Amino acid sequence: MIWAYLVHIGFNMWREENGPVRAEFTNASPILRFDKEMWDEILVFMKESGLNTVVMDLGEGIKYESHPEIAAEGAWSISQLKSEIKKMKEMGITPIPKLNFFASHDEWLGDYSRCVSSQLYYQVCSDLIKEVCQVFENPPLFHLGMDEERDSYGQYWGYSVTRHGDFWWKDLYFFFDVLEKCGVRPWIWSDYAWNRPNEFRAKMPKHVMLSNWYYGEFYDIRELEGTVSFYDKLDKWGYEQIPCGMNINILRTVKYCMDRVSKESLKGFLQTSWKPTILRRRYQHLGCIDLLRQAKEGYYGNDEMFDNWVPFQRPSGYDKDYVSLPDVDF
């Protein structure tokens, strides 16, 4: 079973640096927002918590040898990335690369994000996927993102692109083909199926690892019959999946799926906080990791964890580092 936590090296996933809608951390930055001290602590705490997989959202956080122009100031070199991969493996943690090619989560691509579905775009994306596969020494999975490609998101950008129908599938199959030639299995978010279930079922290859995601409280009947039901549907349709939760929601996610999803379909769980890897967000990172630890204990027989979970205790001296910002979403 995969017990994974999503960690961002780069965080330029959402809006342009000077886009029409601004919020802390959601707008791109030419300077990498990343604290190595926080990264190191996350790895140690994950090992102590019995978790075995890190999904590394690389983005602009790496100075790729094929396209160094993408990198933010302060990005890791390829040699540094290789060193961190080696360290994780020695700790018993499997590193999984992630590059999100969804057209509204690809600000990390810089100017190339304005070239979606062009020959230049295909070449750059192919170069990056191949280089990352080589650096990670052909990992068992490669997360391509591909979530939330919706017209409604255009209001947050000065420039926006949305692929529809065959255009979306054409690009997705292109990414799959590059990974297949590298001998690496693709992993994507599955929310495209929410509004197009029949199309998704007919066109999504069975070898793709899928992650339905839901971050609510599992009590709204509309959500239970909608988004949540796709954990059951992916199982029924014969796909392997790694359900994804966020924060305390991971406890209910694990409980729901262990009760309703077959062992043949269920390959693990992915916990997220959607916070940059910085010391200012230390409490959220460690808290989310600890919640996944408790969910894992519940999965393996300690049912009390689902109803009597223990809040993560914020270490003394760190209160001043965590600042609540009610007017921002990250």
Return the CATH number at 135: 3.20.20.80
For the ranges 26-35, 148-157, 194-203, the lowest mean pLDDT is seen at 148-157
Q: Is residue 303 part of a domain?
A: yes
- Phi then psi for residue 143, to 5 deg, are -85, 120
Q: Is residue 327 part of a domain?
A: no
Q: Which residue has the tokens 């109803």?
A: 307
Q: Is residue 328 part of a domain?
A: no
Q: What is the pLDDT of residue 34?
A: 97
pLDDT in tens, 91-125: 999 999 999 998 888 999 999 999 999 999 999 99
Q: Is residue 45 part of a domain?
A: yes
Q: Is residue 330 part of a domain?
A: no
Q: Is residue 191 part of a domain?
A: yes
Structural domain range at position 113: 2-321
- What is the pTM (predicted TM-score) of this model? 0.93
Alpha carbon of residue 300 to chain centroid: 24
- In order, the DSSP letters of 206-270 are TTSEEE-B--S-S--HHHHHTTTHHHHHHHHTT--B--EEETTHHHHHHHHHHHHS-TTTB-EEE
Is the pLDDT reported for residue 271 higher than 70? yes
Q: Is residue 165 part of a domain?
A: yes
Confidence class for position 314, pLDDT limits 50, 70, 90 = low
Number of domains in the chain: 1
CB atoms within 10 A of CB 90: 8
Q: Is residue 326 part of a domain?
A: no
Q: What is the pLDDT of residue 329?
A: 35
For the ranges 16-30, 102-116, 192-206, the lowest mean pLDDT is seen at 16-30
